[in-house]
Amino acid sequence: MARAIASSRIPVISAVGHEVDFTIADFVADLRAPTPSAAAELVCRNAMELMEKIHSLKAGLWRVWNHTFSTKQMAVKHMSERLVDPKRRLQDLMLRCDEMTQRLDRAWQRRHERWANQVRVALSKLPPPREKILRLHQQIRIHLSELESEIRRQIELRNSRLARLASVLDSISPLRVLERGFSIVKKDGEVVKGSSFLKAKDQVEVILGKGAFHAEVLKVNKENHLKTLN
């Protein structure tokens, strides 16, 4: 029996009736009562308390529902009072649109007049076109004169430099050397650079500062005769 009470899903009250004694059922039951009548009182008392609690919750829920309904009803009434007739709302918007259009036209006219005044003032400050053209023409002539002077100066510098270079080239020219008494000897069209390139009876061409002639080598000397010239 104790195992059956312990495994029961239904709440069990143990009330054997011997108040001074304890049984195993008292320890495994959900609640112990000293007598069966006391157990009945416990069960009835709990049922009455539950019914009272249910009635109390029901009354509280009803009060909350009444309060919520009254609040929502007042909100709906307030919103309905604030609603405006669509036709009247449209008329108000049209009037406001007309007012904004008039204000925009006035603002545009003021802006246009201000711009026109600014243009007139700017035009009054501009010099006459003829005077401006003459002044520009004079500036162009001055610049052209300066440009021509600079071009002539550069040409003179280039000519002077070319003259110096021509003088240097003329001083080292072979023709100038020949005019000082030297000559160029050629054999078979090639310049003879030393006596070692010649032998007796060779035909050579001798070029002078003025003119040239052909000669035959009679004898070749290997010695340096430049010292005798000095």
Range of weakest confidence among 52-66, 85-99, 204-218: 85-99
Flag whether 75 is in a domain: no
Cα(27)–Cα(5) distance, integer angstroms: 10
Residues 122 and 107 in one domain: yes
Residues 60 and 11 in one domain: yes
Flag whether 79 is in a domain: no
Mean pLDDT of the region 50-71: 85
Residues 156 and 185 in one domain: no
CB 66, CB 72: distance < 8 Å? no
Flag whether 102 is in a domain: yes
Residues 6 and 54 in one domain: yes
With bands split at pLDDT 50, 70 and 90, how would you rate the model's confidence at 116? confident
Residues 18 and 60 in one domain: yes
Range of the domain at 112: 85-126
Residues 143 and 121 in one domain: no
Return the residue matching tokens 């390139």: 197
Two structure tokens written together for 105: 């036209």
Does residue 25 carry a pLDDT above 60? Answer: yes
Cα(46)–Cα(51) distance, integer angstroms: 9
Flag whether 223 is in a domain: yes
Flag whether 197 is in a domain: yes
Residues 8 and 55 in one domain: yes
CB 146, CB 170: distance < 8 Å? no
Q: What is the pLDDT of residues 135-163, one digit of tens each?
A: 888 888 888 888 988 998 899 999 888 88
Residues 164 and 204 in one domain: no
Residues 111 and 98 in one domain: yes
Residues 149 and 194 in one domain: no
Q: What is the pLDDT of residues 175-193, one digit of tens each?
A: 777 777 777 888 888 888 8
Q: Is 220 helix (H, G, I), strand (E, B) or coil?
A: coil
* CA dihedral angle for residue 113, residue 118, residue 120, residue 124, rounded to 10 degrees: 160
Residues 112 and 148 in one domain: no
Question: How many domains does the structure of the chain reveal?
Answer: 4
- Distance from first CA to last CA of the chain, Å, rounded? 161
Residues 135 and 158 in one domain: yes
Flag whether 53 is in a domain: yes
Residue 204, strand partner residues: 215
Flag whether 76 is in a domain: no
DSSP-derived secondary structure letter, 85: -
